[in-house]
Amino acid sequence: MMDNNANTVEVAAEGRRRGYWREVWQYHELLLFLAWRDLKVRYKQTAIGVAWVILRPLITMVILTFVFQRVAGLGKNLDVPYQMLVIAGLLPWHFFSTVFAESANSLVANSQMISKVYFPRVLIPLSSSLAGAVDFMVTVLILVPFMIWFGVFPGLEILLFPLFLLLLILFTLSIGIGFAALNVRFRDVRFIVPFIVQIGLYVSPVGFSVYEIPEQWRVLYSLNPMVGIVEGFRWSLFGDSYPVPTFAVAVSVACTVLIMFASLHFFRKVERTFADEI
């Protein structure tokens, strides 16, 4: 509805349960615009622009390979070149860390728009995920020269790569939506998210394989949802050279489903109060 006195458009979020996702689809052009805006702002006034999409994982790969392979001596019993192992783990991790951090802060960062105009608020964290997906598709191209150089080529398992990509997107988006809603009410979240991302890099199998974990601790370690996602990515790329940890993948699927329903339920429950609290 139009508020003539304030010269702004204010429409209360009705929190309608029926037709919610149909309404989200009706705003798909706004979603695309927000994603394009996020991409444009991310690389604005940078010297090398989108080249950072390639450089970030490459630099991280060099550091992790030096630390875990050369210093810690890991990866000696693997059939996959260590650089390939690390780069295949970095791709899903970079997507998760970037999209999670940006989507968790997305509602607060767009407070001016939320307080003045009504639209489905979930579009904002969704746009962060969409922008991250564009970066991810560019980053995947790094794998091609690495595979040719090391002579590692995928088998039929590569057909399941899209399923692990979908699992990664759903998990990241679900946890991002939940933290975005929490961040509106509790600004402590903006301090917690960087801490989770920093610790997550070391407790997830990014710079090493899950098979480097002692067998008696492997089940407990696999309760981290990112373990199944990262190792599933590797298995789909390396095939027979890299066994798939089925328990870890099952945990990732179960956690994603649970977090997705819990986050969406919480987001829609508090969505109507965003304009007042933000």
Mean pLDDT by 10 residues, the chain (278 residues): 44 57 89 89 76 86 89 82 90 93 91 86 90 86 87 89 94 94 91 92 90 90 94 89 88 96 92 80
Contact, 259 vs 178, CB < 8 A? Answer: yes
CA atoms of 83 and 203, how far apart (whole Å): 19
What are the DSSP calls for 141-209, one per residue? GGHHHHHHHHT----GGGGGHHHHHHHHHHHHHHHHHHHHHHHHH-TTHHHHHHHHHHHHHHHTTTSS-
- CB atoms < 10 A from the CB of 132, how many? 28
What was the pLDDT predicted at 235?
92
What was the pLDDT predicted at 272?
83
CB half-sphere exposure, 240, CA atoms < 13 A:
2
What was the pLDDT predicted at 17?
57
What was the pLDDT predicted at 13?
46
What was the pLDDT predicted at 3?
45
CA atoms of 125 and 102, how far apart (whole Å): 8
Which residues, in sequence order, are CB contacts of 46 under 8 Å at separation 6+? 52
